[in-house]
Structure 1
Amino acid sequence: MSGGAALLDRLGDRFAGLRGRLTPDAAMDRITWFRAGGTADLLFQPADEADLAAFLKALPADVPLTVVGIGSNLLVREAGIRGVVVRLSAKGFGEAEAVSGTRIRAGASTPDKRVAQVALDAGIGGFHFYHGIPGSIGGALRMNAGANGVETRERVVEVRALDRQGDLHVLDNAAMGYAYRHSAAPQDLIFTAALFEGSPADREDIRRAMDKVQQHRETVQPIREKTGGSTFKNPPGTSAWKEIDKAGCRGLVIGGAQISPMHCNFMINTGNATGYDLEFLGETVRARVLETSGIRLEWEIRRIGEFRPGHAVQPFLGQLL
């Protein structure tokens, strides 16, 4: 019996009445933008916030729970993910709308680019930076996503979230505990929606700002490759790509994974990369940068799941610790 079938058998009729979709042994390589990774025992895509709350209340506390977004900044290891993976559906959590002349409400699975477009249509300034971020609002809230000198924390008014028991929480900006590429909000919270605030702006000015963001991305980033976006956070006082380049890692290849020759803070799947290839490449880069510059790069890409036996990847390759 597979892991997913065994888990469903154990859970029995706990989930009777749910409106969302339950998929056993779900292939995560179909979800991640890297197009690599093992399977999840059970994937749940809730119909809406109430459906997710009912699911969480029914889920036993000892069953591991992992939450993923649209898969843009995610690396899944080859042996897959035990327990349940929750992925918020586009239908139930993917809408965005202007609710006033300066405010936008968006579901957690709404693509960042969609929020930028809603802001443009409504003449709300301050959201052009989302046009260049390949992710969803849930991830942006969790990691304080930013680009072009603007961060998510500058726009957040409040965030709706469910805890592991299915209870609702509404967090204001201060409660999110924002720092660079980080939120101090409890890790067990599942963000479902957020309210943002910008300022009135001329639509042509907004459009020009968005066009500038798009032009920059197309010029310097490998946006047409199978990539997970920025691999490492920028260290204080420098840029990750500069340190990677200095360490001689531009274009470095391990298996089917490569550091992009165009922008060396991007890893790409050249066609047949495994989760092991990608993570081993990333840790090789970290080890070389540490040796060259004394800087310990921090992953920006989220790595989840279990290693295949005999294929564990140690931080910095287990060296220079």
Structure 2
Amino acid sequence: MLQRARANLAGVDLHVASSMCLNFGSSVSLVVLNKVVMDNHGFKFAATLTFFHLVCTFLLLRLAAALGIFEIKRLPVRDVAKLAAGTMGFITFTNLSLQHNSVGFYQVMKVMTTPTVVIIEALLYQKYLENTLRLSLVPVCLGVIITTVTDFRLNAVGAGYAIAGVIVTSFYQIWSGTLQRSLDCNALQLQAYVAPLAALFILPFVPLLDNWSTNDLESIWYYNFAPNNLSLISVTGFFGFLVNISIFLVIGRSSPLSYNILGHCKTVVVLLSDYVLFHRPFTFKSSFGIILTLIGVFWYTNVKLERARLEKEARERTPAPSISDTKQDILEEEKIELVTSREE
């Protein structure tokens, strides 16, 4: 197994590795910070937080463009709008799920994105998974079911947001996988369009999803925007910017599979934070459900990596035409042309 891991890691692109490290660090930090802001600092306004993160992403990208880090490229708004709608739903339902659920349930439900993508691709795009990979998804689903029924903060509203988040995230990943290539743009150029469009899309829904009533003491108008609360919320905006651009960087430079594998590593760290930082009660059933989910996740990942390795080795074994053969073919073609010209 160690030799296989070394073979899979051989020839890793440093650009891909740096993008994955950026996404790993920023995503884990954002989940923990958002949960601290919502639970410990009482900012229970997930849609407003989503809007703030998108605005921060847009403003920081404009600053980066002004500093010459990248050049803004004109893109067709109609093509980008679908991904922007997916971004809005992906971030909104993710934050709402995090607000209403425990970190453990929130993260385990996100693992369901992988089998959901498989189902969507089979139903809508006629892309079918081989039997071994289907079998590896069984413990994933069983583990999620066990974790769900044993979660200490399980509620209908939180479960609904989590399920909606899984569905929207699945479509979001499918769409973002090919849009950079079809539009011939990089991650920063694409996000410079997606972020402001997604912010505009969610703006009308913010007062509906969050409490913006001027007559309610629990509304956002009566929230204590003390310097420490405001500073922490601002920090989440910066990490939201890093997460938004790093998602496109990872998928654009590698593949949705690599992004999902990275997500599995984040799952382990985030689940541990639920026990350490947010005092999730340790029970055998809930822990067994989480472990079963992770077993299925790593089984699925190992099978996919093994398939990719075998395909790479098969391509390498296929002999490429040598330079001498190529020159010989050119000489033969020139002889044929010369004979033909003489006959004419």
Which of the pair has the greater relative contact order for Cα pairs under 8 Å at 6+ separation?
2
TM-score (norm 2): 0.26
More strand by share: 1
Larger Rg computed on CA atoms: 2
TM-score (norm 1): 0.27
More helix by share: 2
